[in-house]
Structure 1
Amino acid sequence: MKILSLLPSIAAGVLAMLPAQAANVSVAVAANFIAPMQRIAAEFKKDTGHTALLAFGATGGFQAQIANGAPFDVLLAADAAAPAALEAQRLAVSGTRFTYATGRLALWSPRPGYIDREGQVLKNGTFSHLAIANPKTAPYGAAAVAVLDKLRLAGRLQSRLVVGANVAQTCQFVSTGNAELGFVALAQVYRDGKLAAGSGWIVPAHLHAPIRQDGILLAEGSANPAARMLVDYMKSDKVGNIIRSYGYER
């Protein structure tokens, strides 16, 4: 009889762990964060039952869309400035801004042995095209320009630049051979402690401003419990391990 009397409370406990109703979360995600966020979204659904609907693009573009009423619940930006601006404009929930990752910039080519470990190929290489993301809308593009300025190569290489709308398109330019090499997010070409393919130079952090990537709960998502749950989930140790496996710092 004692065992039977415990069954209702056990069942109630199990039900309390499950989401009352599976919901969707609309998430605007920086283009550099495609691969890790796809993994995180899969784990989020497995653990909570909620579905993260992901849109990838340039942070500057998302900021403009949100200001014009785009119905995103959460923004995972490629910088800290966009979430801060949206918070100041009351387009995001005050006090929910957090740093989910610090990005690293890499000079990459799919050709093994093409890029040396010091990035000297930028000075000595005979390449025709160098891909970068749009520095006006993509933080990784701004970081790439800062590196070229620091190395005093901006003027010399200006005519060889191929500019992508975001860092995902920039990586595609290099992958398809439209540019021999390019500045991309390390996460795009890095898996479990090494380059997944080709050759690359991990750009020293002192050559550009830190690429602090902040997330924030947007006003649109303030009444969506699943959106708040995703924000909390992004801060978990489980997500931190996934993020680090792609070459980000936490």
Structure 2
Amino acid sequence: MRRPFFPLAASALASLLCLNSAWADEVQVAVAANFTAPIQAIAKDFEKDTGHTLVAAFGATGQFYAQIKNGAPFEVFLAADDSTPAKLEQEKAIVEGSRFTYAIGTLALWSAKPGYVDGKGEVLKQNAFKHLSIANPKTAPYGLAATQVLDKLGLTAATKDKLVEGQNITQAFQFVSTGNAELGFVALSQIYKDGKVDSGSAWIVPATLHDPIRQDAVILEKGKDNPAAKALVEYLKGPKAAAVNKSYGYEI
């Protein structure tokens, strides 16, 4: 007696799904705080297209470096600079040949108040504000870039007593968004979507006023045998990730 075709097809489909599940892995990723929104968008496509799951932690690049050196279980590191991954490479703490620039960040001076920040950043020179938020320049590359801008504009001394430091760029953003600081230096990606600033008012800082914010990614030693780690790095080099990055104001 011939067996019905459908049960065989269902059985084969179930086997295939189990096989795909067996191939899927999870990757633990340390992500610079400025890249929170883009990686959340990329993670959805990454999981859909590869079956792998991305588990992200967000924070300051310098803090992540210390955690990695102390044995944190991260397998991929998306930094906010290129010097920290280069240092890890010199220390042989990454998979050889895995380091590459996944995005070039843009700094912005932002206020939650519409019309408060002008298009040329003259509000800084007017110096009528009480608090200026920046990320900690010792651990956060965007904070370092902010201090370079103030130095280039000759405003370091004038703003010194008005600075409010966040542990990372997310906290610097929160100080402004909650009104604890009238304005602050943030990552453009935090306020930018689909080609425009989506709230408040902002000055997109010219790249000539600070060192380039080249953001490098690496596969860490703990991820050397994880297929999902390699798959994520390759995915970040692809067109879908590039499109997401561009929509948040990053250069590719």
Q: In 2, Cα distance between the equivalents of 1:185 and 1:76?
A: 15
Q: CA deviation at 1:88?
A: 1.0
Q: Which residue of 2 aligns with 1:241?
A: 243
Deviations 1:151-206 (A, max 9, x none): 00000000000000000000000000010000000000001111010100000000
Q: Which residue of 2 aligns with 1:227?
A: 229
Q: In 2, Cα distance between the equivalents of 1:40 and 1:63?
A: 23
- Among 115, 118, 121, which residue is 2:117 paired with? 115
Q: In 1, Cα distance between the equivalents of 2:43 and 2:183?
A: 30
Q: Which residue of 2 aligns with 1:56?
A: 58
Q: CA deviation at 1:22?
A: 2.0
- Among 61, 66, 69, which residue is 1:67 paired with? 69
Aligned-pair identity (%): 60
Q: CA deviation at 1:218?
A: 0.3
RMSD: 1.7
Are the counterparts in 2 of residues 19 and 48 from structure 1 also a CA contact under 8 Å? no
Q: Which residue of 2 aligns with 1:150?
A: 152
Alignment of 1:15-30 (within 5 A): 18=20, 20-30=22-32
Partner of 1:70, secondary structure, is coil
Q: 1:98 to 1:19 in 2, by over 3 A?
A: farther
Structure 1 unaligned regions, length at least 5: none
Partner of 1:56, secondary structure, is strand
Q: Which residue of 2 aligns with 1:186?
A: 188
Q: Which residue of 2 aligns with 1:199?
A: 201
- Among 80, 83, 87, which residue is 1:81 paired with? 83
Q: In 1, Cα distance between the equivalents of 2:143 and 2:128?
A: 22
Q: CA deviation at 1:81?
A: 0.7
Q: Which residue of 2 aligns with 1:93?
A: 95
Partner of 2:120, secondary structure, is coil
Structure 2 unaligned regions, length at least 5: none
Q: In 2, Cα distance between the equivalents of 1:59 and 1:239?
A: 21
Partner of 1:26, secondary structure, is strand
Alignment of 1:135-174 (within 5 A): 135-174=137-176
After the TM superposition, which segments of 4 or more aligned residues of structure 1 sit over 6 Å from their partners?
Answer: none
Q: Which residue of 1 aligns with 2:129?
A: 127
Q: CA deviation at 1:50?
A: 1.0
Q: In 2, Cα distance between the equivalents of 1:99 and 1:125?
A: 36
Question: Aligned pairs, how many?
Answer: 240
Aligned partner of 1:68: which letter?
Answer: N
Q: Which residue of 1 aligns with 2:39?
A: 37
Q: CA deviation at 1:97?
A: 0.2
Deviations 1:130-168 (A, max 9, x none): 000000000000000000000000000000000000000
Deviations 1:87-126 (A, max 9, x none): 1111111110010000000000011100000000001141
